[in-house]
Chains A and B, each alone.
Chain A
C-alpha cells in the first residue's frame, strides 16, 4: 500500500475528544484538502500525523509501515514533511542558509565539523535550483526576517521541498499572506512535484477549490464527508454547516 494511511485514529485529552475514528488514505499525486470549522481538529490531525501528538488509539501507516512509534524528526526522515501555520524559519540566517540546512539534514551531513558548510558543489547547485524554482534568487543572501511574509512562506515551502518528502502537509499555507500575494502560494502549490502526496489544511475556500482535487470535511474531530470539490460544494450538509456564509 503506497502513501499515507490512517486507520481508526483517535485522540482525546481527558474527556475531550479531538480526533474520532479518522480513517483516510493519501496516495502519491493526491491533492487533498482538509477543511472544517474552527476547532474541528484539523491541526490536531496534522499533529498526529507528524508525531507532535501521540494518538490515543489507531494506526498511522506510511507505505504500509506503521510509523506510530516514531518521533517527530524520524517521521520527517521517513518522508513526511510539513509547513507551519505560522511561518517558522531561521530568521537571522540568510535565505540560502535556510535552504542549505534541510538539504544537509536530508543528506545526513549536518554533523560534519571538518569542512565548510558552503563548499559542496552538489548541495550548492541544489540550493540554486530550489531558489530559482521559487523565484528567490535575488533575495538569496538576505536574512529571512527582512523578507515580506508572502516571500517567507515561499522560503518555508522551498525548505520543506528540499527534504524531498513523499507526503507533504501544508498547514494553512495562505494564512497571513496578503491577498495580493496569494497567487504566489497557489502557483507554488500547483508547481509541486506530480508524485507528491499533498494534504492541505486550509480556511481559504478560494484556494481550496483552486488546488484541491479531493476535499475532506472534518467536524468535531470526525470526518463528516469526503468528495470532489463540486460534490462538496453541492453538499447541503456542508453548506449549512460551514460554507453557507461563503456561498449565498
Chain B
C-alpha cells in the first residue's frame, strides 16, 4: 500500500485526535496525568524544532519552559487571568529569553553549547530563587487564578477543561510546526542541520538563522511552560530543573527526532512507562526507562517511529 506524505500526515492527525478522545473517556480519573503528558509533548516538540530539524543540540530547554511558566504566572496574578492572553505572554517570554541567551549560545557548538545552555537554566533558577517578592522563591508562586477560557469554559476540579484546552493547544502547535517544516524556513533549517559550511557557501548567515530557530523553539517551550503554570496554578523553581531538559531530549530520541509525531509518541511512551514502572517499583523505575532507551538507541536509532521501517527491512519486504 502506497501512501502519499499528505495522506500519511492526515491519517496520523486523525489517529492522534482519536487517541486523545479515547484517553479522555477511558481514563476519567487520570486527566491530570494525561494533561501533564500533553504539556510535556509540546515542550518536546519545541526541542524537535531546534534539535530534530535544525540540529542545534542543547540541554537547556527548561530555561525557556520555566520563563514561560513564570511569565504566565506573574501575568495571571498581576494583570489578567485570561488563559489565552497568558499563553501569549508565556510564548513571548520563552522567545525573548531564547533570543537573549541565543545571542551568546548560538555562537557556540557541541559541548560548549550544551554546557552554556545548562548554565542559562541554572542562572535563571537562581534569579527566580532570589527574586522572592515576585516569584515566591523556593516556596513557589502561589495565587494564580485563571478565568474561564474565552469567558465560556471554567477550569473544573477533575481537569476536563484543562485536558481539552492543552490538547487544542497541542494540535495548534503541531499544525504550525507541520506548516513550518514544509516551508522554505523548514528546508533552510534542515540545511543548517546537514551542513553549516554549505549554508554559508550559498549565502545564508548561519548564526542569525540558528538564532531565529532557537527563538522559535523558545516560543513553543514558553507556551508549554505557560500551560503548566495555568493548569497547576503553581510555579516552582523546579521548572528550571536540568532533569526537565534532559528527560525531554530523551523523549525526543525515544520517539524519533525531526519527525514531529516522534516527539509526541516518545513523550507518551516515556511518561506512561515512567508512571507504571514507578507505581510497581518506586525505587528502581529508572532501570526500566534506561533499558528502554538503550534498546531504542541500539536497535532503532531513528526512534520508535522508525520501528515499522526497521521491521520491513528485517523481513526483507521493503527497500
Quick check: is A102 within 8 A (CB to CB) of the other chain? yes
Q: How many A-B residue pairs have CB under 8 A?
A: 98
Of all chain B residues, the one with the shortest Cβ separation from A50 is B201
Bound state CA distance, A115 and B195, in angstroms? 24
Residues of A within 8 A of B204 (CB): 73, 105, 110
Determine whether the beta carbon of A112 is less than 8 Å from that of B190: no
Quick check: is A20 within 8 A (CB to CB) of the other chain? no
Determine whether the beta carbon of B198 is less than 8 Å from that of A89: yes
Interface segment among B75-83, B131-139, B180-188: the answer is: B180-188
Given contacts A113-B186, A116-B182, A116-B183, contact A90 B203 (CB under 8 A): no
Q: Indicate with 1 or 0, residue by residue over B187-208, a CB within 8 angstroms of chain A CB atoms.
A: 1101100110111111111100
Residues of A within 8 A of B182 (CB): 116-118
Bound state CA distance, A92 and B232, in angstroms? 42
Bound state CA distance, A71 and B195, in angstroms? 18
A187 CB, nearest partner CB in chain B, Å: 23
Bound state CA distance, A82 and B202, in angstroms? 9
Number of interface residues of A (CB under 8 A): 36
Given contacts A71-B205, A73-B204, contact A117 B186 (CB under 8 A): yes
Q: Which of B179, B202, B205, B212 has the most CB of A within 10 A?
A: B202
Residues of A within 8 A of B206 (CB): 73
Bound state CA distance, A118 and B186, in angstroms? 11
Of all chain B residues, the one with the shortest Cβ separation from A81 is B201
Quick check: is A202 within 8 A (CB to CB) of the other chain? no
Residues of B within 8 A of A114 (CB): 179, 183
Residues of A within 8 A of B187 (CB): 93, 97, 100-101, 104, 110, 117
Determine whether the beta carbon of A110 is less than 8 Å from that of B188: yes
Quick check: is A62 within 8 A (CB to CB) of the other chain? no
Which residues of B does A touch, CB under 8 Å?
Answer: 179-180, 182-188, 190-191, 194-195, 197-206, 209, 212
The SS class assigned to the B binding surface is helix
Bound state CA distance, A105 and B200, in angstroms? 10
Which residues of A does B touch, CB under 8 Å?
Answer: 50, 71-74, 76-77, 81-82, 84, 88-93, 97, 100-102, 104-106, 109-118, 159-160, 163
Given contacts A73-B206, A101-B191, contact A90 B185 (CB under 8 A): no
Residues of B within 8 A of A118 (CB): 182
Determine whether the beta carbon of A112 is less than 8 Å from that of B184: yes
A143 CB, nearest partner CB in chain B, Å: 11
Determine whether the beta carbon of A105 is less than 8 Å from that of B202: yes
Bound state CA distance, A106 and B191, in angstroms? 15
Q: Which of B179, B187, B195 has the most CB of A within 10 A?
A: B187
B301 CB, nearest partner CB in chain A, Å: 14
